[in-house]
Structure 1
Amino acid sequence: MATSDLIENSESHFSAVLVGAASIPGVRIDRAEYLRSALARYCSEEQVRRAIEETPAAAGIPLEVLDKVSNESINYEAAKASALSAAAGIPGLLFLPATVPADLAQYFGHMLRIAQKLAYLYSWPDLFSADSDDLDDATKGVLTLFVGVMFGTQSANAAVGKVAGEISKQVAKKLPQQALTKGVIYPIVKKVASYLGVQMTKQTFAQTVSKAIPLIGAVVSGGLTLATYLPMAKRLKSHLSSLELTKPKDGVVDAEVVIVDVVELSDGDDTEQQPGLSATP
């Protein structure tokens, strides 16, 4: 098979999984509902209102608060993904043809859930159109880049920074369509999608092996999911929180919050890395 065909097939493979995961009930996060629920314990009603109508940055919510809330959401989604993966590993080898694709879909569904939550906390606009159930090209592009950041690709990091810069310059309440679908960022999206397609093939193999033995497969599969999901989510959180887009615009305001020490898992170096695969918080 020619290299160009392999790249195209890998890109198509990832895009198909992305679209399929985004269509799973419960994967799409209601931005306003999530921000209201996640911030209510730590911020005033006025701050929450402004965070929803504008952004958490415009509401002047300190990064310490956003980091605490994001850690809560990461831990919640990681626990859910791990539990579902463990359940999929119970039947064993006989049911692998059914359990592995379902597990891959739910795993990427939880990746998209935490990507949305982190994006909304760190002042990105609504990623999904309220007027359509379809995944438009701009949303598909930015979700691809978010997953790329989670997998440790440097090109995705740079592209996410450029998209955030466009949003910040335009004070936009939607994604920059031109940049993501036709501009200089689009080729990077395609490159990242191709890379992720290859990684998914490897991940599917790892999931298949982990589920081969009934019951024991549940423990291994759930543990593998937890061990890979947490560092990937932390990697995306770290990158989004470092962007200028998320900096409080009105200075630090009062927020009723007690910051406790959070034990962070080490993400290792941020080069090309290869990891394994509701309600709020």
Structure 2
Amino acid sequence: MTANEDLAPSESKFSQVLDAAARLPGVRINRAAYLRVALKRYCTENQIERAITETPAAAGIPLKTIHEAANASIGYETTKVTGLSAIAGIPGGLAMIGTVPADLAQYMGHMLRISQKLAYIYGWPALFDGEDLDEATESMLILFVGVMFGVQLAQGGVTKVAAMIAANVAKKLPQQALTKGVLYPVVKKVAAHLGVSMTKKLFAGAVAKAIPLVGAVISGGLTLGTFLPMAKRLQNHLATLELTKPGHRTEGAS
């Protein structure tokens, strides 16, 4: 068996979980609607509209304000995922509809939610285009989740995609690069790595739920201890990229 064949099951396992999570209600974030809500406390209506048609940076919104909006989103998602994880750890909670897979799916769903929110507030174009999860979007989400897990290869991939978007002043992901081009092998390797990490989390979650009286506490505690730092890791990386620079303009901007 070759090294690539050995990695294939883990890659496939992670992709299946990601695809399932992407189909859960409320996981897909509408970019325009999110930016309106996230920025309304800090910005004028004109700034918000320009942030939507271009980017928050291009709208002249200070990076400090963007950080504050991002932190608010992280806090919101962390609270939600921790609460749901605690419920899943209680016998009769989410455990009744699939035990660990249900908990893992909702956890991954919140990772996808915060990935989208952080991407949009830090200048990325809409990730979902239509009802289906296309291959380029799936690849981008794999890279974002990889950054959250601290995968160095994923950080490099996200940096390259951001540079491509900035250089081409594009409003869409670079489809070719993510699905067939230079970034595709990177995405495959990151997915395989995440498949292994996911299996470890699956085991940890199963152990927590095997202790009825403290299962909810352990499950919620593990989630708080992992989700928050992972979200901050993605935030810190996105904040350094070209798309956060005020000089970045999207197609058609003056």
1:145 alignment partner AA: L
Contact between 1:21 and 1:108, CA under 8 Å: does it hold in 2? yes
Name 1:199's counterpart in structure 2. 197
Please give the secondary structure, in 1, of the residue aligned with 2:60: coil
**Whole-angstrom CA distance in 1 between matches of 2:2 and 2:46:** 58
Q: Distance in 2 between matches of 1:53 and 1:98?
A: 41
Give the corresponding residue for 1:229.
227
Question: Corresponding residue for 1:141?
Answer: 139
Q: CA deviation at 1:3?
A: 4.1
1:185 Cα deviation from its structure 2 partner: 0.7
1:41 aligns with 2:41: yes
* 8 A Cα contact 1:89 1:215, kept in partner: no
Counterpart in 2 of 1:79?
79
1:141 partner SS: helix
Deviation at 1:2, TM superposition (A): 5.8
Within a 5 Å distance, the mapping from 1:47-58 to structure 2 comes to: 47-58=47-58
Partner of 1:150: 148
Of Structure 1 and Structure 2, the greater helix share is in 2
1:4 equivalent in alignment to 2:4: yes
What TM-score comes out, normalization by structure 1 length?
0.85
Counterpart of 2:174 (choices 152, 161, 176) is: 176
1:59 counterpart = 2:27: no
Residue type at the aligned position of 1:248: P
**Structure 1 unaligned blocks of 5 or more:** 251-281
Q: For residues 208-264 of structure 1, give each alpha carbon's deviation from its aligned partner in whole angstroms, at most 9, with x where no partner exists.
A: 1111122310011001001000000000000000101111238xxxxxxxxxxxxxx
Is contact 1:59-1:249 (8 Å) kept? no
Equivalent pairs, count: 246
Q: Residue 241 of structure 2 is aligned with which of 240, 243, 249?
A: 243
User: CA separation in 2, counterparts of 1:227 and 1:115?
Assistant: 18
Percent identical pairs in the alignment equals 65
Structure 2 residue identity aligned to 1:121: I
Distance in 2 separating the partners of 1:225 and 1:31: 26
1:96 deviates by: 7.8
**Cα shift readout 1:26-57 (whole Å, capped 9, x = no counterpart):** 00001000000110110111100100111111
1:4 Cα deviation after fit: 3.5
Deviation sequence 1:43-98 (CA, Å, 0-9, x none):
11110010011111110111100101111110110110010000011108xx5882
Q: Given residue 49 of structure 2, which amino acid in structure 1 is its aligned partner?
A: R
Paired amino acid for 1:69: A
AA in 2 matched with 1:211:
K
**Are the equivalent residues in 2 in contact too, given 1:8–1:194 (CA < 8 A)?**
yes
Could you tell me whether the CA contact under 8 Å between 1:29 and 1:117 is conserved in 2?
yes
Could you tell me which runs of 5 or more consecutive residues in structure 2 were left unpaired when the two chains were aligned.
Answer: 249-254
Instruction: Give me the TM-score of the superposition, normalised by structure 2.
Output: 0.94
Give the conservation status (yes or no) of the 8 Å contact 1:96–1:211: no
The equivalent of 2:158 in structure 1 is 160
Find the counterpart in structure 2 of residue 215 from structure 1. 213
- Root-mean-square deviation (CA, aligned residues, Å) is 1.4
Question: Which amino acid is the alignment partner of residue 226 of structure 1?
Answer: L
Partner AA of 2:179 in structure 1: T
* CA distance in structure 1 between the partners assigned to 2:32 and 2:8 by the alignment: 37
What residue identity is the alignment partner of 1:117?
K
* C-alpha distance in 2 between matches for 1:3 and 1:174: 33
- Offset, 1:6: 2.8
**SS state at 1:156 partner:** helix
Contact 1:91/1:215 (<8 A) preserved = no
- Asked if 2 retains the 8 angstrom alpha-carbon contact of 1:89 and 1:218, the reply is yes
Partner of 1:127: 127
